[in-house]
Amino acid sequence: MISMFSVIYAIKTFVAASIFFVWVVRYREIIEEFKFYKLPSWLRDLVGILKLSFSVMLFSNDIYVSILGASGIIFLMVAAVFTHVRVKNPFHKMLPALGLIVLNLIIVFYTYK
């Protein structure tokens, strides 16, 4: 039987791998997206540092650090959704951010419980 700890660990791994992939492997595309959205490069770099840092925090043995990491990702993903709405992107472009919000809410709920 699979434990809830294993499920949450798998979700954390998926979230961290997704963020790593987008902000490291696809970084050139991120540069273009931020230019398209008319956002400054310093903000792009700050968001990248925060997302990668929050992803690492997910794996902390201290539950409060783990919750801080998940909450930080939720905050950044909410900001991403608002940005997509501001530039009138189609709904399907918001789905990754919305999915990460849901996954991190699950992490917060089950880590705090």
Q: pLDDT tens-digit profile of 20-70?
A: 999 999 999 999 999 999 999 999 999 999 999 999 999 999 999 999 999
Q: How far is Cα 79 from Cα 81, in angstroms, rounded to an integer? A: 5
When pLDDT is cut at 50, 70 and 90, the band that residue 2 belongs to is confident
Confidence (pLDDT) at 112: 82
Largest CA distance in the chain: 49
Residue 74 has pLDDT above 80, yes or no: yes
Stated pTM of the model? 0.94
Confidence (pLDDT) at 100: 98
